[in-house]
Chains A and B, each alone.
Chain A
Amino acid sequence: MSDRMNRRQWMQMLGLSGLTASVGALGTRATRAQGVGESSGFQSSVITTHKVQTERANARLVDGKVIQPQRELPILDTTDVLVVGGGPAGVVAALAARRAGARVTLVERYGHFGGLWTGGLVLLVIGHIVKGGKQVCQGIGEEIMRRLDKLDGAIMDRRPGVNPTVDAEAVKYVMVEMIEEAGVRVFLHSWGVDAIVEGNAVQGAVFESKSGRRAILAKVTVDATGDGDIFAAAGAEFEHRSHNVGLVSRIGNLDRVDASKTGGAPKPKHLGSRTPVPGVNWVNLHGPEVDGLDVATLTRLEMSHRKFIWQNIQKMRQTPGYEKVYLMETAPQLGVRITRVLHGLHRIALADLKAGTKFPDVVGVGGSENGGHGEWPIPYGSLVPVRAENVLAAGRCIDVEIRMADLVRLIPNCFVTGHAAGVAAAVAAQDGCRPRDVEVAKVQRILRQQEAYLG
């Protein structure tokens, strides 16, 4: 009864037809569900009973074309800083913005934090050091690593100048802990699909979830989707690139390889590298160079990669000594490396790395994949779109030329760009200005307070 009343009130208030039956009922239904479940004493109980509804906003087939009717979306939250994407860049951006004093909401497509670091099983952390073993990734990224240090079996090879390897579950745990401590509002299982725009200014984002399509309004939005989904939807200029798309797997029982049976034969291929879990290796896979935004391609690769990984393990098990090795898991997320790259105010270029160019608006310092060369400053302009307002990019989709993209996309460098974007978004939200007009000196000051390294 209250359900129906509620919906009627909504409709009267907004004076709109074509609302879906499910819209607006979220809060009341949740309370009822809890009440019913508890009182019934069973493991399952009825939340609502849905009958045929007349007012719907389904996509409609009109003259052979599928038309999505206009409809109003419920506003789930209103916040200062909305971070879309809960990978290394997004989590650090949310933490940084929250610690800088902003109200922060984080939206993540999967059911866990960490993005490709955890869901993609990219367990080797490379990119935090430069020539001479100097570590340039500090701040919140380093805080995550220190928290992993304290856990048993969470991280290995944490020595100066060495690239450590983490355990994905430990990372997921640490990130939950930090997000909760900071007081960031989180929506998991929520796939950011659209930007809410007013003119060319982003006012938040729309995401799709099991609850339906929902909106979150925000003063500043940080696009940490990796694919630049939000800035692309907002009409920012970008480059759409191809790169290798692979699928990581973990294999077990490597501590039970019988060395006496191998007879000095060369090791099998695709054995991978050690992880903090004894006897378990993570196996990287490059994959072919494709368009990582094409769903047909992603589908094809998911299937062919899984076939290869399974068959490769079967072959490995036929190698004398390796009979007990088995496939533990393939990563839940396909390893998409680069797709959309922002056209921002500044493009990170290899020539600047070579020349050692300094930038006054530096908001972070990037490292190299194997510590082979010097540090390179990340200017604030590389996070700011040329065209769209109130949105900042973080992670692999910031403005970077092709040759440098393989450095920008590394996990620690995503920490660094996420950290910068988070602080800048908080400052813009608090000062009531556009991100492009933000006082960079203030951003730099707060970043330094949060122990970031700016060169």
Chain B
Amino acid sequence: MSRAPRPEAALGKQTQGTPGRWRRLVRVACLMAAGIALWPALPAWDTALYVTALSPFVAAFSLLAARAWPATAGLGLAIGLATLVRHRLFCRWLCPLGVCLEAAGGVGRRLGRPPWHGLRVGPWIVLLTAGGALLGYPFLLWLDPLAIFAGLFDALARAREPLAWFGALGFAGTMVLSLLWPGLWCVRLCPLGALQDLLMQARRFLRSRAVWKTSGAAPRDGVPQPVRRALLGVAAGTILAETTRAIPRPAHPLRPPGARAEPQFTGLCTRCGNCLRACPSRIIRLDLGSSGLAGLLTPTLSFERDYCREDCVRCTHVCPSRALAPMPPEGKPQARIGRPQVDMSLCLLGNDRDCAACARWCPYGAIRYVFSEQEYTLRPQIDPDCCNGCGACQVACPTRPRKAIVIRAADHG
């Protein structure tokens, strides 16, 4: 245990001593750069990805869980490797959330709040997530500090949408924690910080094994304690992941295009809100429980005001964890979001009225009106091969308050 690196020692340089002017400058610059990159008003809409992809925590475990190699995973992994050389390098130089929490902690200390000396939860979060990732369900990925920081911008960029404010919950929570117990998040909770600790620990452990080998000395007991802890954590992670995944969901929500199959999606999603902010038609809403506890704050689609544009694949390109698989714009027609369902008791055609709204606005030309000799009326007929469930028909449908044509999740019963 004495070999375990002490995050306080590493972070102490920033929390207690006077940080070097140079480093402070870099950290503020990083905070500002991250803020600019996450703000959706930039003409380059995919900059948010490069902030959230910097996390080795997300990069490593989404890679493991998604079994796919995102183009930007190298960024996070490179930073992970760099922290092997310099302990907690990310926290000390880059972390934008850390700067904010440190400021909050400073206020807390001035108010006489004591630092927290309880259990270090961070390493357990990492190990549990690793266990889940093995099963494709890294269920605590959303505790990533960069995802939490990015979530703040849901509220800032979509200030007029009350639902988007929930995206900033993580940021508000960590700020309050740091105010009450300065240093609590960074030292004891943050999984990204803990991952750096574990990496450093592993490095030292391996080096000590190498020392035993060359010196010929045998290890003192069977399995070393850090390895035992890791195995225990990963095993617990698999069990927890399996249990969370099995929680029944009240409803099957509509997901952005390219979303992975439902149980894995909620596990992979970091709740960073990149997709929500990248969406030009503003149809992505944060889920507040419609898909169950496991899907809390994940992105869902709402076709109340707009639809998923036929020429847009932005959300799939800003997802740091590949919960949304990136696709080229040409792939959009095949990216099935859901299936339209027509309620002929509401449809104007079912009431002998003339209406061609859904067919007119369908970007894929998937709707035709077919005359039924039996009913002696027209009814919309949807070509399932052409329709990807973009919701244009639902937006266009003139019936109020309930729409006659509604998109339902594709694999919904």
Contacts and interface: CB of A to CB of B under 8 A. Distances in A.
B376 interface: yes
Contact of A285 (B352, B355, B369, B398): B352
Contact of A350 (B360, B369, B398): B360
A370 B359 CA distance: 14
B357 A369 contact: yes
Contacts, number: 54
27 contacts: A124-B353, A244-B371, A272-B352, A283-B352, A284-B352, A284-B353, A285-B352, A285-B377, A286-B354, A286-B369, A286-B377, A286-B378, A289-B369, A289-B371, A308-B376, A369-B354, A369-B355, A369-B356, A369-B398, A370-B355, A370-B357, A370-B398, A371-B398, A372-B357, A372-B398, A403-B359, A403-B360
A373 B359 CA distance: 14
A279 interface: no
Interface string B323-354: 00000000000000000000000000100111
Given A369-B398, A403-B359, 15 more contacts: A244-B378, A270-B376, A270-B377, A286-B349, A286-B354, A286-B369, A286-B377, A286-B378, A288-B373, A308-B376, A312-B376, A372-B357, A372-B396, A406-B356, A406-B360
Given A370-B355, A406-B360, A287 B371 contact: yes
Contacts of A65: none
B375 interface: yes
A350 B360 CA distance: 8
A270 B352 contact: yes
A374 B109 CA distance: 57
A269 interface: yes
Interface string B44-55: 000000000000
A451 to B, nearest CB: 28
B181 to A, nearest CB: 52
Contacts of B360: 350, 403-404, 406-407
A297 to B, nearest CB: 13
A404 B355 CA distance: 12
A269 B344 CA distance: 12
**Looking at chain B, what size class is its interface with the partner chain?**
10 to 19
Nearest to B350: A269
Interface string A247-288: 000000000000000000000011011000000000111111
A329 to B, nearest CB: 17
B356 A288 contact: no
Contacts of A284: 352-354
A151 B352 CA distance: 28
Interface in A59-80: none
Nearest to A290: B371
B346 to A, nearest CB: 13
Interface of B: 349, 352-357, 359-360, 369, 371, 373, 375-378, 396, 398
Interface in A286-313: 286-289, 308, 312
Contacts of A407: 360
A163 to B, nearest CB: 10
A129 to B, nearest CB: 12
Contacts of A124: 353
A216 B357 CA distance: 41
Nearest to A122: B354
Interface string A19-48: 000000000000000000000000000000
Q: Contact residue range for chain A?
A: 20 to 34
Smallest CB-CB A-B distances: 3 pairs: A370-B398, A406-B356, A286-B378
Contacts of A350: 360
Contacts of A270: 352, 376-377
Contacts of A289: 369, 371
A351 to B, nearest CB: 11
Interface in A226-248: 244
B406 to A, nearest CB: 16
B356 A286 contact: no
Contacts of A404: 360
Nearest to B397: A372
Interface string A369-400: 11111000000000000000000000000000
Nearest to B378: A286
Contacts of A403: 359-360
Nearest to B348: A370
B391 to A, nearest CB: 14
A362 B224 CA distance: 82
Interface string A142-160: 0000000000000000000
Contacts of B355: 369-370
A287 to B, nearest CB: 7
Contacts of B356: 369, 406
Contacts of A126: 354
B70 to A, nearest CB: 33
A286 B349 CA distance: 8
A319 B303 CA distance: 39
A283 B376 CA distance: 12
Interface in A402-416: 403-404, 406-407
Contacts of B398: 369-372
Contacts of B352: 270, 272, 283-286
Nearest to A283: B352
Nearest to A410: B354
A286 B359 CA distance: 16
A283 B378 CA distance: 14
Nearest to B368: A289
Contacts of B353: 124, 273, 284
A403 B358 CA distance: 10
Given A283-B352, A286-B349, A269 B357 contact: no
A273 B354 CA distance: 12
A271 to B, nearest CB: 8
Nearest to A406: B356
A407 to B, nearest CB: 8
A13 B377 CA distance: 59
Contacts of A312: 376
Contacts of B377: 269-270, 285-286
Contacts of A373: 396
Contacts of B349: 286
Contacts of B354: 126, 284, 286, 369, 406
A288 B377 CA distance: 8
A403 B353 CA distance: 18
A288 B371 contact: yes
Nearest to A308: B376
Nearest to A272: B352
A337 to B, nearest CB: 8
Contacts of A244: 369, 371, 378
Contacts of B378: 244, 286
Interface in A128-179: none
Nearest to B356: A406
A54 B361 CA distance: 63
Q: Which of A244, A286, A287: most chain B CB closer than 10 A? A: A286
A124 B360 CA distance: 21
Nearest to B353: A284
Nearest to A248: B352
B396 A285 contact: no
A286 B350 CA distance: 10
Q: Report which residue of A126, A287, A308, A370 has the largest number of chain B beta carbons within 10 angstroms of its beta carbon.
A: A370
Contacts of A370: 355, 357, 398
Contacts of A285: 352, 376-377
B106 to A, nearest CB: 51
Residue of B356, B359, B376 ringed by the most chain A CB atoms within 10 A:
B376
Interface in A330-365: 350
